[in-house]
């Protein structure tokens, strides 16, 4: 390979082969090529983003610092890699990049992506956590940037900052806060469920789990504002309720599903479908879905998919089997009632 040269399109094809084998020598070739320009650099970055290597992550951070002419695609590939493979020691490089460009409107999308990646890799890095917190608190900052910082705040154990943001009554920020609360609740619920000794799950957290309780209390505080939210924020609020096992999630879910707003009904059903495996007490919800009036054909298909996804993914425990039989019997009784009504009213 030292005795011949490749044209640009041949070298791009060669990159693809190196990406398949992911050898150390191939990685070195690709790392040399990210110092080039044009299609060669773009191709090398695109292939290297799949390498799980600290050397690649370090090289990408160096590129962020030194190359001001990165294309949008090159930048997104680099930050995607850092988000997936970065470690706490890479936080300083991201903080430096963000600080250099944070006031530039033409870099807003790049900075939002970098802030989100920083939150994902920050771990116990106090400097990174403080930096993200400073962005959230700064009311003069771009809304989109504050939203990215809020959504990535999954390592915090005190949600008082998020409550303060909700008090601003900014719908776009509210959406981000409820998504962040959903992520925090999911993190806590996973730990809590792992410690349960039997299969009869209760929605109440342990006495020492203040964060999960605080999330439920905060959602309850904000419930009077539910009707004033946009469709997307209502869906995010319902998602947070589902994730934390809030006992009143059925109230706001059914309020959305019976709102006579087709777009809101659609987005709510998609939230339930996406997080059906996170439903802790779905008895009332499922019975309500069976008898939900005035749904479109597509909504009916989504409801069926919710049932299929939930019951095919559930664990085969005694309580779950009893619940499955209960819902099956309810569906049969409901169908019998419908058929009997149809027979009496429409058949001769």
What are the two backbone dihedrals, phi and then psi, of residue 269, each rounded to the nearest 5 degrees? -65, -35
What pLDDT, in 10s, does the model give residues 41-96? 999 999 999 999 999 999 999 999 887 789 999 999 999 999 999 999 999 999 99
Complete DSSP assignment for 82-125: HHHH--GGGHHHHHHHHHHHTT-GGGHHHHHHHHHHHHHH-TT-
Q: Is 342 exposed, middle or buried (0-12, 13-18, 19+ CB in 10 A)?
A: exposed
CA trace torsion 61, 62, 65, 66 (10° rounding): -150
Q: How far apart are CA 269 and CA 111, in angstroms?
A: 32
Residue 200: pLDDT above 50? Answer: no
Q: How far apart are CA 215 and CA 189, in angstroms?
A: 12
Please, what is the average pLDDT of the chain?
90
CA-based R_g, the chain, Å:
25
What pLDDT, in 10s, does the model give residues 271-302? 999 999 999 889 999 999 988 877 788 999 99
- How confident is residue 317, by pLDDT bands cut at 50, 70 and 90? confident
Q: How far apart are CA 321 and CA 302, in angstroms?
A: 23
Q: At what angle do helices 72-85 and 108-121 cross, to 10 degrees?
A: 10
Contact 149, 135 (CB under 8 A): yes
Lookup: tokens for 282? 């779905």
pLDDT value of position 201:
47
Contact 202, 194 (CB under 8 A): no
Residue 347: pLDDT above 80? Answer: no
Q: How far apart are CA 79 and CA 58, in angstroms?
A: 12
Contact 72, 40 (CB under 8 A): no
Contact 42, 71 (CB under 8 A): yes
Residue 190: pLDDT above 90? Answer: no
Percent of the chain with pLDDT over 90: 69
pLDDT value of position 273:
96
Q: Is 344 exposed, middle or buried (0-12, 13-18, 19+ CB in 10 A)?
A: exposed
- Tell me the pTM: 0.87
pLDDT value of position 343:
86
């Amino acid at each position: 390979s030292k005795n011949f040269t490749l044209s640009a399109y041949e070298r791009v094809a060669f990159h693809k082969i190196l990406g398949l084998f992911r050898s150390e020598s191939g990685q070195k070739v690709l790392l040399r090529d990210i110092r080039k320009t044009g299609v060669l650099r773009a191709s090398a970055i695109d292939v290297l983003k799949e390498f799980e290597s600290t050397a690649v992550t370090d090289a990408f951070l160096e590129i962020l610092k030194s190359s001001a002419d990165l294309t949008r695609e090159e930048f997104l590939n680099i930050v995607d890699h850092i988000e997936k493979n970065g470690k706490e020691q890479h936080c300083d490089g991201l903080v430096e990049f963000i600080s250099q460009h944070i006031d530039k409107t033409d870099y807003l999308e790049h900075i939002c992506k970098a802030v989100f990646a920083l939150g994902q890799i920050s771990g116990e890095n106090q400097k990174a956590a403080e930096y993200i917190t400073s962005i959230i608190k700064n009311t003069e900052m771009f809304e989109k940037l504050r939203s990215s910082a809020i959504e990535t705040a999954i390592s915090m154990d005190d949600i008082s900052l998020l409550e303060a943001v909700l008090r601003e009554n900014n719908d776009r920020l509210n959406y981000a806060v409820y998504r962040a609360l959903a992520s925090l609740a999911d993190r806590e619920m996973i730990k809590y469920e792992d410690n349960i000794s039997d299969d009869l799950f209760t929605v109440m957290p342990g006495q020492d789990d203040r964060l999960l309780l605080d999330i439920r209390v905060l959602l309850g505080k904000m419930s009077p504002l539910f009707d004033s939210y946009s469709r997307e924020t209502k869906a995010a609020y319902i998602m947070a309720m589902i994730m934390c096992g809030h006992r009143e999630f059925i109230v706001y879910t059914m309020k959305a599903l019976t709102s006579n707003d087709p777009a809101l009904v659609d987005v709510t059903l998609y939230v339930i479908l996406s997080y059906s495996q996170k439903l802790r007490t779905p008895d009332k919800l499922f019975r309500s879905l069976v008898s939900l009036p005035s749904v479109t054909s597509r909504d009916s298909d989504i409801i069926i998919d919710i049932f299929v996804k939930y019951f095919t993914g559930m664990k085969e425990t005694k309580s779950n089997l009893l619940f499955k039989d209960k819902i099956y019997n309810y569906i049969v009784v409901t169908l019998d009632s419908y058929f009997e009504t149809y027979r009496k009213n429409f058949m001769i």
